[in-house]
Structure 1
Amino acid sequence: MKKGIYRRLALTGIKKNKQLYFPYLLSGTAMVMIFYILAFLAESSMVHNLRGGEAMTTLLICGEALIGVFSVPFLFYTSSSLMRNRKKEFGLYNILGMNKGNILVSLIWENLITYGIVIFTGIFFGVLFSKIAELGLVNIMEEEINYRIYIEWKAFFTALVLYAGIYGLIFLNTARQIRQNNPIELLGSEAAGERPPKSRRALAAAGLALTAGAYAWAVRIENPRDAMVQLMMAAGLAVIGTYLLFVAGSVFLCGWLKRRKRYYYKTAHFVTVSALTYRMKRNGASLASICILAAAILVALVGTAGFYTGVDDIIERHYPYDLGGMIEVDGLNQGETGLRYQAELESVLKDAGAKVSEIAGLYEVGIDAPIEEGVLDLNVDIYKNAPGEGSVKEWNEYLENYVCVRVISLEDYNRLCHTAEELKAGEVFLAGGARAGEAERIRNWDGSEYTVKKAVRQMPELSAFKLYGSYSDMMMDYMVLVVPDMEGFWGGFDASAWSTKNQVLCFWEYGVRLAEEQDRQLVIGDACEAWIQEVSEEENAPECTWYTKAEKWAKLKSLAGGVLFLAFVVSLVFVFAAALIMYYKQISEGYEDQRQFSIMRKIGMTRKEIRRSINSQMLTVFCLPLGMAGLHLAFALPAVYQVLKAAVLDNRPLLIRVSAVSFLLFSAAYGIVYLITTRTYIKIVNREPVQ
């Protein structure tokens, strides 16, 4: 052949199929652009220097890897959709004298041109929008920004190599399909319908069982410790079940509608059911993919948006004062020790020029104890019959009945809660959640027993950021035990009878409210932290902790903002993927249905009836993924709540509100894509097919 003919043939093929090629090029460009942006942010010094920058960088690297992995099946899908509609063209080339080798050379040129366009435009827009993404991320985290635009060469070369490999694999897959088919098969590839799977009842039963099992698993997740792992496992079952349900469901739906004679023998419905029957398995697979992408988008957005919007609630719940600290003491002379520490703290604040509006101090004891048969038993040695190290499952089971208890005096409780509670000799009361109401009696460390007068919800407003006890990280329930007198209740305690000393921890805890701006609070907090470190070193206190509320807020807001940003980017990719799946589904089906609708028009079917038939078909098909995705989200919410609870966000109403808003916004976006793709489908089927 003449020199350059393959290149010209490749360019002609792209131009002639621009309606198919444009979304294919667009999908590749979007993948390259988003991959570059995430790789750019992962290398950005501005992101590294943010509060919580290390965690943010790790998240971005994970997002970069996720987009790289997702690009493979996504670009393969768009490529296969493109090639499926061009097989007739390749068969015609073969019959007109081009052998398969000539066709493959032309495809090599098409692939090279496609790769060049995708890489050039993807990197160009990646560089253009990477700075905008960086500014947006930094703005979410409310940090200072700079406006220098530059290319991150490591990200550039990584994208270059990665997508060269992907497009190389796509070409090899296309070459395999061309070699395996003869010209007649290629020419007739659009004409054959699909046979229903023989075991559709078995598939439907398996899909229903897997989906129901996933739902039951998700709603029964109650332990925040392993909620994320269990949610992922339940999601895996739901994915398999969804595919089986949609594939088998498409077959069942077609058969059921055909048997409804009043429905089936109408102009619009007859065409709709016939079109569904023609490609029943393909419909099931593509709609299941759309449903799963939609559910993943919704769960990701709900979880991250819930976390981000709940940051203020988390901080207020766990850091009630502007500054707070704890110092462990040995329990002896605790009154003198506490007063001395408070005097030293006031001196530090005075030296720092702090405007103090309140200082609150509190002596307390922390212990882990079980509740069994209505008795909160403080006389149980938690280590005595404990499982061995590393037995996480056994430890979880062992600690099921345990709660973290803070013991404080009635005087301190009334002072901190501004109440006037009273207790008689032998009485105590509990403050906390649902488990506080389970205890009717208290067994003290010395075997003496007290009656629980009542359980109240109001907790003392002090440093709840620290859950006491050696296994507080195990997410045990948390409550406050209020006693008439700390000396009478806890005086004389001897730890020598216990397996280890640290089962009972005695603390002095302080909270400070300031009338200062956030920047000043950070400076004052640094001075207090330096003081508490000196106390720890001088007195060999095993546990000394200090927090500055402004710093905790900034770090958590940065982390939540970073997670939300990453979820938004990944969700954007998934929305784009779902939109392209819908688009290619409509385009490919439009070309397949062109001839059938042409025949319908010739035998008297009007364009209005055709439009009504198409709308009936589209509504029948495309409402299913959205409804199923909403159902997936509803059953996933309890698990998402437990995941957020592990991240110290315990606000179910907020999560429900975020879920409702996310579903409505996604439904609006889904509807817009549906309208655009349906309009394109109608345009295609209303044309006369090329003979």
Structure 2
Amino acid sequence: ILGFLIIYASRFLIKRRNKEFGIYMILGMGKRKISLILFIETMLIGVVSLAVGIVLGTVASQFMSVIVANMFDADMTGFRFIFSSEACVKTIVYFAIMYVLVMLFNTFSISKCRLIDLLNAGKKNEKITMKNPLICTFVFVIAVGLLSYAYWLVTAGAFKLNVMDKLWLPVGLGCVATFLIFWSVSGLLIRIFTSIKSVYYRGVNSFVLRQFGSKINTMVFSTTVICLMLFITISVLAGALSMKDSLKKSLSECAPVDMQVRLKYSDEADASDADRICRLLTDNGFDTDTYLKDITAYNMYRTGLTAADTLGEYADILISTNPLVDLSGQELFMKLSDYNRVAGLYGLQQHSLNEDEYIVIANYKYMVDIRNAALKNGQTIAVGEKTYRPRYSECMDGFVAISAQRINDGIFVLPDDAFDDSRLYITGISANYKSGDKAWKNSADNKLVDTVKLINKKNSQSMDSDDSETSGSVGSLVNCETKGGIAQNGVGLGALVTFIALYLGIIFLISSAAILALKELSDSADNKERYGMLRKIGVDERMIDMALLRQIGIFFAFPLLLAVIHSIFGLKFVNLILSTMGMSSMMASVGTTAVFLVLIYGGYFVLTYICSRGIIKNG
């Protein structure tokens, strides 16, 4: 992208110096010497740009890191200034490659120039090619059809994109359709407005249209690239900012306690002993009496029922529409009293049941929607010799395992007498730390993680030696989660995604606006004589300014309009992806993205207009 921008800018800068090069040739300078001059100029500019860019980039990267970290309320006490020599070397190499290409392009451009073309370059419009309106209309209809199908694939037909490779189909269709739309519209607009005499001959519209027509045919490809870059900018920024907001919000909702330890069932486990995990932790160095309060124990069971069993007829419908969905996993069950204890600790709604009823607790939107369809149909389940019916026609919001996101795909809560401990699968505890001090909590987190690692190491040694009596071992897997650890992992992932999105978004946005600005500034310099002619025939400055404003506005709005339309459907697809990851709606982040767009893209538009107006007035 940056290489394309530099070459594109170089092309227009060379055009601005055509008359200068023509004079050099009249004075006897050969094309080789002119190419050498350009080579030396380009190299000097490149060296200075690289040096300044590395210095500014190093400072800006630290500044950006601080901004992103503050977005997630990250701990900045360990922040250090970092200079990556590897990144610096890569920057120099890539920059050198881009400038070598620019030098080759400049040499090639000069070698193909003729003296008469150089001297008369400022007096020529780019050739207006009047396209066949029937062909343009046909191509436009085809392009709209391709684009509509691509939009359908990423919205209503998104379930068909169950393999990542298939995502290239709507992407490819969108790129081709975008090019065809700009190609056809560039021909149709000229025809349409020239045929509407009341518009064409109003004010200086005919002049603006001729200026527009002289350039649009040669800018179809670049306009397509700019449109796609703007689309990527909007989608990436909105998606990343939504992910950031969702992670921050979900952490407080989905990790309401400081720690959780879970032990998968083994033959030796005594399910009736709620203190078993506490004793295990204490025996291995983590004294629960010292560290923990609000200790709440719970058990989770498996009954042999799978997701296909609990969804009933709806499972067949789901598989027919999404053949890759896996419904073979066994469902998790809890006793009502266990869940209500956990819900009380978490501040969630507690429930009651009749002896033949069950509740589904879930907060993962994708599975909630699926399960709700079965619950509305009154789907019954059989546990042991008894059949249970749903108490509610929809899932109840809740969870047991703490996490950074809403990813609980379903827990079935039944009356306490529904199953015995022979079906135990997981026993666990959730608790808070006794101290609220941040440093104390971090120390407790590290101590807990080290203790669990030690327990699992002993378990591994016990299983390897077939000795279940190893001191402090439990004979099954123990895992733990802490609120601090979840927050740290969430900050790491969110900060990485946000940093990349901001980088790509800002680079693409600046590149798009810079290409348009360079084109318009170059054209304004070429058109000084034409605007001067308008003054000579009596057109006042206000009309000239409005003509220039409309001309620049059309070129800036042309790719942006289609990019916004692309983004409407692109954001729906991104929102679908985020929702399947347990993240919330991204609509709130669209406003922030719009602010970025207005400040950078709109800023370039205003500066381009001001500079262009200065150029034509000085002419």
2:428 paired residue number: 509
Contact 1:405 1:478 (8 Å CA) reproduced: no
Say yes or no: does 1:520 pair with 2:458. no
1:110 paired residue number: 41
Q: Deviations over 1:422-456 (max 9, x none)?
A: 44444323233233331433444667543233245
Counterparts in 2 of 1:65-80, with a 5 A limit? 70-80=1-11
CA separation in 1, counterparts of 2:172 and 2:63?
Answer: 35
CA separation in 2, counterparts of 1:315 and 1:230?
Answer: 33
CA separation in 2, counterparts of 1:331 and 1:411?
Answer: 24
Distance 1:345 1:163, change over 3 A: closer
1:258 paired residue number: 194
What TM-score, normalized to structure 2?
0.83
Distance 1:409 1:155, change over 3 A: closer
| Candidates 617, 637, 641, aligned match of 2:571 | 637
Q: Deviations over 1:97-123 (max 9, x none)?
A: 222222222222222222222223223
- Secondary structure of the corresponding residue to residue 72 of structure 1: helix
Say yes or no: does 1:408 pair with 2:355. no
| Candidates 645, 651, 663, aligned match of 2:584 | 651
Contact 1:352 1:527 (8 Å CA) reproduced: no
1:301 paired residue number: 237
Contact 1:329 1:541 (8 Å CA) reproduced: no
CA separation in 1, counterparts of 2:253 and 2:331?
Answer: 18
Q: Deviations over 1:403-430 (max 9, x none)?
A: 7632111222333335664444443232
Say yes or no: does 1:89 pair with 2:20. yes
- Secondary structure of the corresponding residue to residue 256 of structure 2: coil
Say yes or no: does 1:435 pair with 2:361. no
CA separation in 2, counterparts of 1:434 and 1:137?
Answer: 34
Distance 1:213 1:375, change over 3 A: closer
Residue type of the partner of 1:514? Y
CA separation in 1, counterparts of 2:281 and 2:156?
Answer: 47
Distance 1:289 1:259, change over 3 A: same
Task: Note the C-alpha offset of 1:364.
Answer: 0.7
CA separation in 2, counterparts of 1:485 and 1:417?
Answer: 16
Contact 2:517 2:608 (8 Å CA) reproduced: yes
Contact 1:427 1:451 (8 Å CA) reproduced: yes
| Candidates 81, 98, 115, aligned match of 2:29 | 98
Distance 1:417 1:227, change over 3 A: farther
Distance 1:628 1:532, change over 3 A: same
1:666 paired residue number: 597
| Candidates 370, 380, 386, aligned match of 2:307 | 370
| Candidates 384, 389, 406, aligned match of 1:451 | 389
1:15 paired residue number: none
Task: Note the C-alpha offset of 1:682.
Answer: 1.9
CA separation in 2, counterparts of 1:108 and 1:584?
Answer: 21
Contact 1:361 1:509 (8 Å CA) reproduced: yes
Contact 1:268 1:616 (8 Å CA) reproduced: no
Taking every aligned residue pair, what percent have the same amino acid on both sides?
A: 18
1:279 paired residue number: 215
Contact 2:261 2:479 (8 Å CA) reproduced: yes
1:29 paired residue number: none
CA separation in 1, counterparts of 2:145 and 2:121?
Answer: 35
1:484 paired residue number: 415
Distance 1:665 1:480, change over 3 A: same
Q: Deviations over 1:540-569 (max 9, x none)?
A: 644321011112102211321232223222
Task: Note the C-alpha offset of 1:518.
Answer: 2.8
1:237 paired residue number: 173
Distance 1:466 1:611, change over 3 A: closer
CA separation in 1, counterparts of 2:489 and 2:276?
Answer: 32
Say yes or no: does 1:578 pair with 2:504. no
- Secondary structure of the corresponding residue to residue 298 of structure 2: strand
Residue type of the partner of 1:413? Y
Contact 1:231 1:639 (8 Å CA) reproduced: no
Task: Note the C-alpha offset of 1:329.
Answer: 0.8
What TM-score, normalized to structure 1?
0.75
CA separation in 2, counterparts of 1:146 and 1:460?
Answer: 37
CA separation in 2, counterparts of 1:146 and 1:484?
Answer: 52
CA separation in 1, counterparts of 2:6 and 2:163?
Answer: 33
Aligned pair count? 583
Task: Note the C-alpha offset of 1:515.
Answer: 4.0
Say yes or no: does 1:558 pair with 2:489. no
Range 427-436 or range 297-306, more displaced: 427-436
| Candidates 312, 326, 351, aligned match of 2:287 | 351
Task: Note the C-alpha offset of 1:631.
Answer: 2.1
Contact 1:409 1:485 (8 Å CA) reproduced: yes
Distance 1:369 1:605, change over 3 A: same
Task: Note the C-alpha offset of 1:171.
Answer: 1.3
2:463 paired residue number: none
Distance 1:226 1:302, change over 3 A: farther
CA separation in 1, counterparts of 2:404 and 2:517?
Answer: 52
Say yes or no: does 1:603 pair with 2:540. no
Contact 2:291 2:434 (8 Å CA) reproduced: yes
Task: Note the C-alpha offset of 1:511.
Answer: 0.6
| Candidates 290, 293, 310, aligned match of 2:246 | 310
- Segments of structure 2 that go 5 or more residues without pairing to the other structure are 363-367, 460-469
Task: Note the C-alpha offset of 1:264.
Answer: 0.9
Distance 1:577 1:407, change over 3 A: same
Task: Note the C-alpha offset of 1:584.
Answer: 0.8
CA RMSD, aligned part only? 3.6
Contact 1:257 1:264 (8 Å CA) reproduced: yes
Contact 1:325 1:463 (8 Å CA) reproduced: no
CA separation in 2, counterparts of 1:445 and 1:120?
Answer: 72
Say yes or no: does 1:626 pair with 2:536. no
Distance 1:132 1:617, change over 3 A: closer
- Segments of structure 1 that go 5 or more residues without pairing to the other structure are 1-69, 381-392, 468-474, 494-504
1:30 paired residue number: none
Distance 1:229 1:302, change over 3 A: farther
1:161 paired residue number: 93
Contact 1:370 1:402 (8 Å CA) reproduced: yes
CA separation in 2, counterparts of 1:573 and 1:447?
Answer: 64
Say yes or no: does 1:204 pair with 2:130. no
- Secondary structure of the corresponding residue to residue 441 of structure 1: coil
Distance 1:627 1:306, change over 3 A: same
Contact 1:369 1:402 (8 Å CA) reproduced: yes
Q: Deviations over 1:31-74 (max 9, x none)?
A: xxxxxxxxxxxxxxxxxxxxxxxxxxxxxxxxxxxxxxx33222
- Secondary structure of the corresponding residue to residue 638 of structure 1: helix
CA separation in 1, counterparts of 2:489 and 2:350?
Answer: 38
